[in-house]
């Protein structure tokens, strides 16, 4: 397992992007800390490979992680490219690759209006 470092950037309108690139089987993303984020969406793209999936997790203590959900209450587990809103406001967020094969190479991008560390 490798921890993929997040690339953070500020974009227009007071919004911020956090991007984890080239995530492979068993990788997890380094955590992003944010407080007061009013809107959060996550996008996953890339090569999923056989059985590829990525789970979006949240934590308030940075140690214990749980899957987050979309506004309909569905777990944020992606097995194909798409964009979803994140319902819960947690102190930390990270992606974790939970399935795939040697070809799995995913990019996860979080868009939010917030400040971070």
- pLDDT of 36 > 90? The answer is no
pLDDT tens digits along 79-115: 999 999 999 989 999 999 999 999 999 999 999 886 5
pLDDT at 117 over 60: no
Domain of residue 98: give its range: 3-116
Q: What is the CATH number of the domain that holds 7?
A: 2.60.120
Rounded to 10 degrees, the C-alpha dihedral 107/8/4/109 comes to -20
Tokens of 74: 């569905």
Q: How many structural domains does the chain have?
A: 1
Q: Is 89 left (phi over 0), alpha (psi -120 to 50) or beta?
A: beta
Q: CB atoms < 10 A from the CB of 65, how many? A: 19
């Amino acid at each position: 397992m490798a921890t993929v470092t997040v690339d953070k950037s500020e974009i227009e309108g007071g919004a911020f992007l956090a991007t984890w690139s080239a995530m492979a089987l068993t990788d997890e993303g380094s955590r992003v800390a944010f407080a007061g984020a009013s809107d959060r969406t996550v996008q996953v793209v890339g090569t999923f490979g056989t059985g590829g999936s990525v789970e979006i997790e949240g934590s308030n203590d940075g140690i214990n992680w749980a899957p987050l959900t979309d506004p309909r209450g569905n777990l944020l587990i992606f097995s194909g490219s798409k964009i979803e809103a994140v319902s819960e406001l947690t102190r930390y967020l990270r992606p974790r690759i939970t399935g795939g094969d040697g070809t799995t190479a995913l990019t996860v991008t979080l868009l939010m209006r917030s400040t971070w560390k």
